Structure 1
Amino acid sequence: MPKFANKIIKILIASDFILNLGWGLVSPIFAIFIVENITSRGPLEAAKIAGFAALFYWITKSILQVPIGRYLDKNHGEKDDFWFMVIGTFLAAFVPIGYLFSSLPWHIYLLQILHAVGMSMAFPSWLAIFTRHIDKGKEAFEWSMESTFLSAGAGIAGGLGGILAAVFGFKTIFVIVSTLNVISAIFLIFVKKDISLRDKDSIRAVPVRPFVEP
């Protein structure tokens, strides 16, 4: 990333890249995992379970995100945003481990709800911090960098997910996903010293230490 992107923006983009790299591994193998581990009634039943899994995730996330976003906006400083972002990301890391112990459809549905809760906490707070600390005059560029890295992570993982599953199996995939999720959350901790704990109206005036390039 260019040298003129500040430390917070770089860390947020790196964290999001790692997160999407991990979860992108699941996409190409999730339905096959359901066929082999959750149901013995064939691919049509597996497709139904996968569909309901998506339903539980997106409906839960849609219900929770707006009230969480409103709550975060009403509180002064970025301390609440920071902790929601970090805790939500860590929470999502338990989901792929849960897949390892799943044997029934409701196990998957429950884990999807947990994943949605984590992302409902992490997503609005991540966006809020990114928006407040974006470099003035470089808004389009830095948002495009975020989108590019997000897409790259998902694309790379999509290509690798099927190969890794074929070679190492589902258990290895889910452990990798959880590990990358935890690493993504750890990255976020490094922005704590650079965010404002005071009124959000004064956040843009808070100096941000530049990220030193090697």
Structure 2
Amino acid sequence: MFKNINKVVQILVTIDFFVNGAFGSFGPVFAVFITSQISSGSLSVAGFAASAYWITKSIIQLPIAHFLDKTDGERDEFWALFLGYIFSAFVPIMYIFATKPWHLYLIQAFLGVCMAFAVPAWYSIFTRHVDKERIGFEWSLQSVFAVGLTTAIAAAVGGVLADKFGFKILFLMAGIVILISSIFLWRLRKNLWSKTINHETA
């Protein structure tokens, strides 16, 4: 069942398992962090912080996706994904130094920019390389492993880490995991660029 899966799909799903897991590790306790560690932090601040991320991402993502679609080849998509993930790795570390609500809003907006680049690039690359006879299975593979299972595991682990060692250790570890996982995206470049070159010279 898991044999003969496209290498690009394997890499994307594996990396997303760790990236989504790292972000998911502090998701369930993020509101607790805000109310206990941020000056004047409240559930309202937590809500506005979430809005800052989603509004920023929603405004920027469509123009970026349009640009990526109009640009031939996969080089631009690789860099959008690679840099989006790399810069997002610094977000959990920034939380360590946040003390006021506006710090949090800026960090969340920055994360929105990072994901506005990474998400459409990820969708484009995955869609292009998914095995045509296994489209449903490979998209489900992403949903089950890189979203469902990793979030379930990370939520439990993150809660324990925050409880025993505090938020700083949790955020630091999450940032390191995201950074290391993002660096492994470099393995994609030859697969993507070689196909781009073949397409352009055909």
- CA-atom RMSD, angstroms? 1.9
1:195 maps to 192
Q: 3-state DSSP class of the match of 1:195? A: helix
**One-letter identity of the residue aligned with 2:162:** A
Per-residue CA shift, 1:113-170, capped at 9, x if unaligned? 0100101100000110000011120111100000001211111111111111011110
Q: 3-state DSSP class of the match of 1:194? A: helix
Given that 1:54 and 1:112 are in contact with CA atoms closer than 8 Å, whether structure 2 keeps it comes out as yes
CA distance in 2, matches of 1:200, 1:148: 33
Return closer, same or farther for 1:159/1:104 CA change in 2, 3 Å cut-off: same
Matched, 1:170 2:192: no
Matched, 1:161 2:161: no
Q: 3-state DSSP class of the match of 1:158? A: helix
Given that 1:77 and 1:197 are in contact with CA atoms closer than 8 Å, whether structure 2 keeps it comes out as no
Given that 1:18 and 1:183 are in contact with CA atoms closer than 8 Å, whether structure 2 keeps it comes out as no
**One-letter identity of the residue aligned with 1:183:** I
Q: Of residues 105, 108, 126 in structure 1, which corresponds to 2:101?
A: 105
* Unmatched 5+ stretches in structure 2: none
The CA deviation at 1:61 is 0.5
Per-residue CA shift, 1:172-214, capped at 9, x if unaligned? 10011101111221121111110146769949xx9xxxxxxxx
1:11 maps to 11
* Unmatched 5+ stretches in structure 1: 207-214
1:90 maps to 86
CA distance in 2, matches of 1:201, 1:122: 24
**TM score, norm. by length of structure 2:** 0.94
Q: 3-state DSSP class of the match of 2:42? A: helix
CA distance in 2, matches of 1:111, 1:166: 23
Given that 2:68 and 2:121 are in contact with CA atoms closer than 8 Å, whether structure 1 keeps it comes out as yes
1:130 maps to 126
Given that 2:75 and 2:196 are in contact with CA atoms closer than 8 Å, whether structure 1 keeps it comes out as no
1:57 maps to 53
CA distance in 2, matches of 1:81, 1:182: 18
2:22 maps to 22
The CA deviation at 1:3 is 2.2
Q: 3-state DSSP class of the match of 1:77? A: coil
2:143 maps to 147
1:210 maps to none
Task: Point out 4+ residue stretches in structure 1 off by more than 2 angstroms.
Answer: 196-203
**TM score, norm. by length of structure 1:** 0.88
Q: 3-state DSSP class of the match of 2:132? A: coil
CA distance in 1, matches of 2:136, 2:198: 22
The count of residues paired between Structure 1 and Structure 2 equals: 200
Return closer, same or farther for 1:140/1:200 CA change in 2, 3 Å cut-off: farther
